[in-house]
Structure 1
Amino acid sequence: MKKFTIQEELPKKGKLEPIHIDEMRLNWEKEKLQRAEESLNKFVQVVQSVLGDLSAAKLKRLHLESNEVVQEELASRFQFPNASDQFNLDALGINVEPIYEMRKEFAHTWSSYSFQYKDGKFIADEDQAVFQQFYTYVDTPEKKKFISLLEQQVELYNEFKAAGLIRSYTHLREVFYPNMFTIDIYGNMSVKTDRLPSLLSYVGRYIQISV
Protein backbone atom coordinates (compact mmCIF):
# COMPACT_ATOMS: atom_id res chain seq x y z
CA MET A 1 0.00 0.00 0.00
CA LYS A 2 1.37 3.42 -0.92
CA LYS A 3 2.40 5.38 2.16
CA PHE A 4 1.12 8.90 2.76
CA THR A 5 2.10 11.62 5.19
CA ILE A 6 -0.27 14.31 6.36
CA GLN A 7 1.94 17.00 4.86
CA GLU A 8 2.25 15.34 1.46
CA GLU A 9 0.52 17.14 -1.42
CA LEU A 10 -2.02 15.26 -3.45
CA PRO A 11 -1.08 14.87 -7.12
CA LYS A 12 -3.19 16.64 -9.70
CA LYS A 13 -6.26 14.90 -11.07
CA GLY A 14 -5.33 12.33 -13.70
CA LYS A 15 -2.02 11.48 -12.02
CA LEU A 16 -3.42 9.64 -9.04
CA GLU A 17 -2.17 6.14 -8.39
CA PRO A 18 -4.70 3.68 -6.99
CA ILE A 19 -4.16 2.76 -3.37
CA HIS A 20 -6.09 -0.46 -3.82
CA ILE A 21 -7.18 -2.60 -6.77
CA ASP A 22 -9.84 -5.26 -6.44
CA GLU A 23 -7.93 -7.74 -8.58
CA MET A 24 -10.45 -10.56 -8.29
CA ARG A 25 -13.43 -8.50 -9.47
CA LEU A 26 -11.32 -6.72 -12.09
CA ASN A 27 -10.17 -10.01 -13.59
CA TRP A 28 -13.72 -11.31 -13.53
CA GLU A 29 -14.87 -8.20 -15.41
CA LYS A 30 -12.09 -8.68 -17.96
CA GLU A 31 -13.28 -12.23 -18.54
CA LYS A 32 -16.79 -10.88 -19.12
CA LEU A 33 -15.35 -8.38 -21.58
CA GLN A 34 -13.59 -11.13 -23.51
CA ARG A 35 -16.81 -13.13 -23.76
CA ALA A 36 -18.68 -10.00 -24.85
CA GLU A 37 -16.12 -9.39 -27.61
CA GLU A 38 -16.53 -12.96 -28.84
CA SER A 39 -20.33 -12.68 -28.79
CA LEU A 40 -20.32 -9.36 -30.62
CA ASN A 41 -18.12 -10.70 -33.41
CA LYS A 42 -20.30 -13.80 -33.62
CA PHE A 43 -23.30 -11.47 -33.94
CA VAL A 44 -21.63 -9.74 -36.89
CA GLN A 45 -21.26 -13.12 -38.58
CA VAL A 46 -24.92 -13.94 -37.95
CA VAL A 47 -26.08 -10.60 -39.37
CA GLN A 48 -24.02 -11.07 -42.52
CA SER A 49 -25.13 -14.67 -42.91
CA VAL A 50 -28.71 -13.38 -43.04
CA LEU A 51 -28.31 -10.08 -44.87
CA GLY A 52 -25.13 -10.67 -46.83
CA ASP A 53 -22.07 -8.45 -46.84
CA LEU A 54 -22.57 -5.02 -45.30
CA SER A 55 -20.36 -1.94 -45.49
CA ALA A 56 -17.80 -1.37 -42.76
CA ALA A 57 -19.74 1.72 -41.68
CA LYS A 58 -22.86 -0.35 -41.07
CA LEU A 59 -20.98 -3.18 -39.37
CA LYS A 60 -19.40 -0.68 -36.99
CA ARG A 61 -22.87 0.45 -35.91
CA LEU A 62 -23.92 -3.08 -34.95
CA HIS A 63 -22.37 -2.58 -31.53
CA LEU A 64 -25.03 -0.15 -30.30
CA GLU A 65 -27.40 0.40 -33.23
CA SER A 66 -28.03 -3.08 -34.54
CA ASN A 67 -31.81 -2.67 -34.70
CA GLU A 68 -31.50 0.51 -36.77
CA VAL A 69 -28.95 -1.06 -39.11
CA VAL A 70 -31.09 -4.13 -39.74
CA GLN A 71 -34.26 -2.09 -40.28
CA GLU A 72 -32.50 0.31 -42.66
CA GLU A 73 -31.00 -2.54 -44.64
CA LEU A 74 -34.32 -4.37 -44.92
CA ALA A 75 -36.24 -1.22 -45.85
CA SER A 76 -33.83 -0.58 -48.71
CA ARG A 77 -34.58 -4.04 -50.10
CA PHE A 78 -38.34 -4.26 -49.61
CA GLN A 79 -40.10 -4.37 -52.97
CA PHE A 80 -43.66 -3.85 -51.76
CA PRO A 81 -43.90 -0.67 -49.68
CA ASN A 82 -47.61 -1.09 -49.01
CA ALA A 83 -47.29 -4.68 -47.82
CA SER A 84 -46.34 -5.95 -44.37
CA ASP A 85 -42.76 -6.51 -43.32
CA GLN A 86 -43.34 -10.24 -43.16
CA PHE A 87 -44.71 -10.27 -46.72
CA ASN A 88 -41.60 -8.45 -47.94
CA LEU A 89 -39.30 -10.75 -45.98
CA ASP A 90 -41.01 -13.80 -47.46
CA ALA A 91 -40.69 -12.29 -50.92
CA LEU A 92 -36.96 -11.82 -50.37
CA GLY A 93 -36.55 -15.22 -48.74
CA ILE A 94 -35.01 -13.67 -45.63
CA ASN A 95 -35.44 -15.02 -42.11
CA VAL A 96 -34.31 -12.40 -39.60
CA GLU A 97 -35.12 -14.45 -36.49
CA PRO A 98 -31.49 -15.57 -35.91
CA ILE A 99 -30.49 -11.89 -35.71
CA TYR A 100 -33.24 -10.94 -33.30
CA GLU A 101 -32.74 -14.00 -31.12
CA MET A 102 -29.02 -13.46 -30.71
CA ARG A 103 -29.41 -9.74 -30.09
CA LYS A 104 -32.05 -10.42 -27.41
CA GLU A 105 -29.82 -12.93 -25.66
CA PHE A 106 -26.43 -11.24 -25.87
CA ALA A 107 -26.74 -7.50 -26.62
CA HIS A 108 -26.72 -6.64 -22.92
CA THR A 109 -23.31 -8.31 -22.58
CA TRP A 110 -21.55 -5.96 -24.98
CA SER A 111 -23.56 -2.73 -24.69
CA SER A 112 -21.75 -1.56 -21.54
CA TYR A 113 -18.27 -1.87 -23.07
CA SER A 114 -16.42 0.18 -25.66
CA PHE A 115 -15.03 -1.39 -28.83
CA GLN A 116 -13.14 -0.39 -31.94
CA TYR A 117 -14.09 -1.87 -35.29
CA LYS A 118 -10.89 -2.68 -37.16
CA ASP A 119 -9.93 -5.09 -39.92
CA GLY A 120 -13.37 -6.63 -40.05
CA LYS A 121 -13.89 -7.31 -36.37
CA PHE A 122 -14.61 -5.63 -33.06
CA ILE A 123 -11.73 -5.26 -30.64
CA ALA A 124 -12.43 -4.32 -27.03
CA ASP A 125 -10.69 -1.23 -25.69
CA GLU A 126 -8.19 -2.10 -22.98
CA ASP A 127 -9.22 0.89 -20.87
CA GLN A 128 -12.89 0.41 -20.05
CA ALA A 129 -14.84 2.94 -17.99
CA VAL A 130 -16.44 0.12 -16.02
CA PHE A 131 -13.01 -0.95 -14.73
CA GLN A 132 -12.70 2.21 -12.62
CA GLN A 133 -15.10 0.87 -10.01
CA PHE A 134 -12.41 -1.63 -9.01
CA TYR A 135 -9.77 1.05 -8.32
CA THR A 136 -9.65 3.03 -5.09
CA TYR A 137 -7.98 6.44 -5.04
CA VAL A 138 -6.97 8.82 -2.29
CA ASP A 139 -8.37 11.87 -4.04
CA THR A 140 -9.26 14.32 -1.25
CA PRO A 141 -7.26 15.85 1.63
CA GLU A 142 -9.61 14.14 4.09
CA LYS A 143 -8.99 10.71 2.59
CA LYS A 144 -5.26 11.36 2.50
CA LYS A 145 -5.23 12.27 6.18
CA PHE A 146 -7.37 9.24 7.02
CA ILE A 147 -4.88 6.90 5.34
CA SER A 148 -2.02 8.65 7.10
CA LEU A 149 -3.74 8.18 10.46
CA LEU A 150 -4.22 4.48 9.78
CA GLU A 151 -0.55 4.09 8.94
CA GLN A 152 0.55 6.03 12.00
CA GLN A 153 -1.64 3.86 14.23
CA VAL A 154 -0.16 0.67 12.77
CA GLU A 155 3.39 1.95 13.11
CA LEU A 156 2.86 3.12 16.68
CA TYR A 157 1.15 -0.09 17.77
CA ASN A 158 3.85 -2.30 16.26
CA GLU A 159 6.55 -0.22 17.95
CA PHE A 160 4.78 -0.67 21.29
CA LYS A 161 4.53 -4.40 20.63
CA ALA A 162 8.21 -4.67 19.68
CA ALA A 163 9.09 -2.91 22.92
CA GLY A 164 7.02 -5.40 24.91
CA LEU A 165 4.47 -2.79 25.95
CA ILE A 166 1.36 -4.56 24.61
CA ARG A 167 -0.04 -6.90 27.27
CA SER A 168 -3.05 -8.17 25.30
CA TYR A 169 -4.34 -7.69 21.79
CA THR A 170 -7.22 -10.17 21.87
CA HIS A 171 -9.93 -7.51 21.99
CA LEU A 172 -8.02 -4.67 20.38
CA ARG A 173 -10.16 -4.76 17.23
CA GLU A 174 -13.16 -3.71 19.32
CA VAL A 175 -11.46 -0.42 20.17
CA PHE A 176 -11.48 0.86 16.59
CA TYR A 177 -14.01 1.49 13.86
CA PRO A 178 -15.00 -1.93 12.43
CA ASN A 179 -12.70 -3.61 9.93
CA MET A 180 -9.98 -0.97 9.79
CA PHE A 181 -7.20 -3.17 11.13
CA THR A 182 -6.32 -6.82 11.29
CA ILE A 183 -4.06 -8.50 13.84
CA ASP A 184 -2.32 -11.74 12.99
CA ILE A 185 -1.70 -14.67 15.32
CA TYR A 186 1.59 -13.08 16.40
CA GLY A 187 -0.09 -9.84 17.39
CA ASN A 188 1.16 -7.76 14.47
CA MET A 189 -1.24 -5.08 13.29
CA SER A 190 -1.83 -4.05 9.67
CA VAL A 191 -4.42 -2.09 7.70
CA LYS A 192 -7.14 -4.22 6.09
CA THR A 193 -6.44 -3.16 2.53
CA ASP A 194 -9.42 -5.05 1.14
CA ARG A 195 -11.65 -2.80 3.25
CA LEU A 196 -10.11 0.46 2.04
CA PRO A 197 -12.69 1.06 -0.74
CA SER A 198 -15.55 0.94 1.77
CA LEU A 199 -13.70 2.87 4.46
CA LEU A 200 -12.67 5.65 2.10
CA SER A 201 -16.22 5.92 0.79
CA TYR A 202 -17.30 6.63 4.39
CA VAL A 203 -14.88 9.55 4.82
CA GLY A 204 -16.92 12.75 4.87
CA ARG A 205 -20.12 10.83 5.61
CA TYR A 206 -19.80 8.47 8.58
CA ILE A 207 -16.12 9.14 9.22
CA GLN A 208 -15.38 12.80 9.85
CA ILE A 209 -11.79 13.91 9.31
CA SER A 210 -10.65 17.49 9.87
CA VAL A 211 -7.77 18.87 7.82
Structure 2
Amino acid sequence: MPRSLPSTAAVLALAASLGACASQRLEGPTRGRIAPGPQAALEPVVPAMPSGPVTSEPLAPPPGATAAPADLPPPVGATVAVAPSTPVIAPEAPPVAPTPPPVVAGGRSSVVGTWNAKDATGASCKVSLSSAPALDLYKASASGCPNKDLSKVTAWDYRDGEVYLYQPGGTVAARLRQGGGALDGALSKSGASLAMVR
Protein backbone atom coordinates (compact mmCIF):
# COMPACT_ATOMS: atom_id res chain seq x y z
CA MET A 1 0.00 0.00 0.00
CA PRO A 2 1.53 3.33 -0.98
CA ARG A 3 2.27 5.93 1.75
CA SER A 4 0.07 9.03 1.67
CA LEU A 5 1.47 12.47 2.23
CA PRO A 6 0.59 14.10 5.58
CA SER A 7 -2.20 16.69 5.48
CA THR A 8 -1.47 20.39 5.55
CA ALA A 9 -3.15 20.78 8.94
CA ALA A 10 -0.94 18.10 10.45
CA VAL A 11 2.20 19.77 9.09
CA LEU A 12 1.15 23.14 10.48
CA ALA A 13 0.35 21.67 13.90
CA LEU A 14 3.73 19.94 13.97
CA ALA A 15 5.52 23.15 12.95
CA ALA A 16 3.74 25.16 15.65
CA SER A 17 4.65 22.68 18.39
CA LEU A 18 8.27 22.56 17.26
CA GLY A 19 8.36 26.36 17.22
CA ALA A 20 7.03 26.48 20.77
CA CYS A 21 9.62 23.98 21.94
CA ALA A 22 12.40 25.86 20.19
CA SER A 23 11.36 29.20 21.72
CA GLN A 24 11.18 27.64 25.22
CA ARG A 25 14.57 26.10 24.77
CA LEU A 26 16.11 29.44 23.68
CA GLU A 27 14.52 31.47 26.48
CA GLY A 28 15.72 29.20 29.25
CA PRO A 29 18.75 29.74 31.50
CA THR A 30 21.09 28.03 29.02
CA ARG A 31 20.38 30.54 26.26
CA GLY A 32 23.41 31.28 24.16
CA ARG A 33 25.06 27.88 24.76
CA ILE A 34 22.71 25.84 22.55
CA ALA A 35 23.68 25.76 18.93
CA PRO A 36 20.87 25.52 16.40
CA GLY A 37 20.31 21.96 15.28
CA PRO A 38 19.33 20.62 11.90
CA GLN A 39 15.63 20.87 12.78
CA ALA A 40 15.87 24.69 12.64
CA ALA A 41 16.14 24.55 8.87
CA LEU A 42 13.04 22.36 8.66
CA GLU A 43 10.70 24.74 10.55
CA PRO A 44 8.27 26.34 8.09
CA VAL A 45 7.60 30.08 8.22
CA VAL A 46 3.90 30.69 8.90
CA PRO A 47 2.55 34.25 8.44
CA ALA A 48 0.46 35.67 11.29
CA MET A 49 -3.24 35.61 10.58
CA PRO A 50 -5.65 38.12 12.20
CA SER A 51 -8.30 36.50 14.33
CA GLY A 52 -10.99 39.11 13.60
CA PRO A 53 -11.71 42.35 11.74
CA VAL A 54 -9.37 45.26 12.45
CA THR A 55 -10.97 48.64 13.24
CA SER A 56 -9.51 52.01 14.10
CA GLU A 57 -10.89 54.72 16.34
CA PRO A 58 -9.42 57.99 17.63
CA LEU A 59 -8.00 57.89 21.14
CA ALA A 60 -10.02 59.37 23.96
CA PRO A 61 -8.72 62.65 25.42
CA PRO A 62 -6.47 62.36 28.49
CA PRO A 63 -8.13 62.61 31.92
CA GLY A 64 -9.20 66.15 32.74
CA ALA A 65 -9.19 67.29 29.09
CA THR A 66 -12.21 67.73 26.92
CA ALA A 67 -12.32 67.25 23.20
CA ALA A 68 -14.93 68.78 20.98
CA PRO A 69 -15.96 66.75 17.93
CA ALA A 70 -14.16 69.27 15.71
CA ASP A 71 -10.92 68.54 17.59
CA LEU A 72 -10.98 64.83 16.74
CA PRO A 73 -9.41 63.63 13.49
CA PRO A 74 -11.71 62.02 10.94
CA PRO A 75 -11.81 58.19 10.95
CA VAL A 76 -9.44 56.37 8.65
CA GLY A 77 -10.88 56.15 5.16
CA ALA A 78 -13.47 58.89 5.73
CA THR A 79 -14.04 61.45 3.02
CA VAL A 80 -13.16 64.92 4.23
CA ALA A 81 -14.69 67.98 2.58
CA VAL A 82 -12.24 70.79 1.99
CA ALA A 83 -13.55 74.33 1.86
CA PRO A 84 -12.55 76.29 -1.22
CA SER A 85 -9.62 78.53 -0.56
CA THR A 86 -10.28 82.22 -0.21
CA PRO A 87 -7.70 84.82 -1.12
CA VAL A 88 -5.83 86.27 1.84
CA ILE A 89 -6.11 90.03 1.97
CA ALA A 90 -3.34 91.83 3.82
CA PRO A 91 -4.65 94.31 6.40
CA GLU A 92 -4.23 97.95 5.61
CA ALA A 93 -1.50 99.80 7.42
CA PRO A 94 -2.88 101.82 10.35
CA PRO A 95 -2.99 105.55 9.76
CA VAL A 96 -0.09 107.49 11.17
CA ALA A 97 -1.15 109.30 14.31
CA PRO A 98 -0.41 113.01 14.45
CA THR A 99 2.45 114.03 16.65
CA PRO A 100 1.11 115.00 20.09
CA PRO A 101 1.82 118.51 21.32
CA PRO A 102 4.87 118.86 23.53
CA VAL A 103 4.22 118.09 27.17
CA VAL A 104 4.55 121.07 29.45
CA ALA A 105 5.81 120.08 32.86
CA GLY A 106 3.22 120.62 35.55
CA GLY A 107 3.16 120.55 39.31
CA ARG A 108 4.81 122.44 42.11
CA SER A 109 8.39 122.06 40.86
CA SER A 110 7.51 123.46 37.43
CA VAL A 111 6.44 126.84 38.87
CA VAL A 112 9.45 127.44 41.11
CA GLY A 113 11.47 130.46 39.97
CA THR A 114 11.09 134.15 39.13
CA TRP A 115 8.06 135.35 37.15
CA ASN A 116 7.12 138.62 35.46
CA ALA A 117 3.68 139.53 36.85
CA LYS A 118 1.34 141.83 34.91
CA ASP A 119 -2.00 143.03 36.30
CA ALA A 120 -5.09 144.41 34.50
CA THR A 121 -3.73 147.99 34.51
CA GLY A 122 -0.63 146.86 32.60
CA ALA A 123 1.71 147.40 35.56
CA SER A 124 4.36 144.71 35.94
CA CYS A 125 6.72 143.48 38.64
CA LYS A 126 8.78 140.45 39.67
CA VAL A 127 7.37 137.62 41.79
CA SER A 128 9.73 134.87 43.00
CA LEU A 129 8.40 131.48 44.07
CA SER A 130 10.94 129.57 46.17
CA SER A 131 11.14 125.84 46.94
CA ALA A 132 12.13 126.67 50.57
CA PRO A 133 9.35 125.68 53.00
CA ALA A 134 7.62 128.24 55.18
CA LEU A 135 5.56 126.26 57.71
CA ASP A 136 3.08 124.34 55.51
CA LEU A 137 3.60 126.68 52.51
CA TYR A 138 6.62 127.82 50.45
CA LYS A 139 8.44 131.15 50.56
CA ALA A 140 7.66 133.84 47.98
CA SER A 141 8.62 137.47 47.44
CA ALA A 142 7.51 140.36 45.23
CA SER A 143 9.59 143.34 44.13
CA GLY A 144 8.56 146.55 42.32
CA CYS A 145 4.83 145.73 42.34
CA PRO A 146 2.58 148.87 42.26
CA ASN A 147 -0.43 146.75 43.30
CA LYS A 148 -0.60 146.75 47.13
CA ASP A 149 -2.05 143.23 47.42
CA LEU A 150 0.58 141.73 45.14
CA SER A 151 3.46 143.63 46.78
CA LYS A 152 2.66 141.93 50.15
CA VAL A 153 3.04 138.34 48.88
CA THR A 154 5.29 136.29 51.24
CA ALA A 155 4.24 132.66 50.62
CA TRP A 156 2.72 130.40 47.96
CA ASP A 157 1.31 126.88 47.46
CA TYR A 158 0.27 124.58 44.62
CA ARG A 159 -3.06 122.71 45.01
CA ASP A 160 -5.30 121.04 42.44
CA GLY A 161 -3.42 122.56 39.49
CA GLU A 162 -3.58 126.11 40.88
CA VAL A 163 -0.97 128.43 42.38
CA TYR A 164 -2.09 130.36 45.48
CA LEU A 165 -0.18 133.53 46.47
CA TYR A 166 -0.47 134.43 50.19
CA GLN A 167 0.03 137.60 52.23
CA PRO A 168 1.20 137.53 55.86
CA GLY A 169 -1.51 136.07 58.11
CA GLY A 170 -2.69 133.57 55.45
CA THR A 171 -4.80 135.88 53.28
CA VAL A 172 -4.95 134.70 49.65
CA ALA A 173 -3.66 137.51 47.42
CA ALA A 174 -4.20 135.74 44.05
CA ARG A 175 -5.10 132.41 42.44
CA LEU A 176 -3.53 131.39 39.14
CA ARG A 177 -3.90 128.30 36.92
CA GLN A 178 -0.93 126.86 35.06
CA GLY A 179 -1.28 126.58 31.29
CA GLY A 180 1.15 126.62 28.37
CA GLY A 181 4.17 127.77 30.38
CA ALA A 182 2.32 130.74 31.93
CA LEU A 183 0.17 131.34 35.00
CA ASP A 184 -3.19 133.05 34.47
CA GLY A 185 -5.66 134.08 37.16
CA ALA A 186 -6.98 136.96 39.21
CA LEU A 187 -6.28 138.99 42.33
CA SER A 188 -8.54 137.79 45.13
CA LYS A 189 -9.61 141.17 46.62
CA SER A 190 -10.39 143.10 43.42
CA GLY A 191 -10.97 140.20 40.99
CA ALA A 192 -8.72 141.95 38.46
CA SER A 193 -6.84 139.68 36.06
CA LEU A 194 -3.25 138.73 36.73
CA ALA A 195 -0.81 136.94 34.42
CA MET A 196 2.68 135.69 35.17
CA VAL A 197 5.22 134.66 32.54
CA ARG A 198 8.88 133.71 32.71
Q: What is the TM-score with the length of structure 2 in the denominator?
A: 0.20
More helix by share: 1
Q: What is the TM-score with the length of structure 1 in the denominator?
A: 0.19
Compare CA radii of gyration and give the structure with the larger one: 2
Which structure ranks higher in relative contact order (CA pairs < 8 Å, sequence separation ≥ 6)? 1
More strand by share: 2
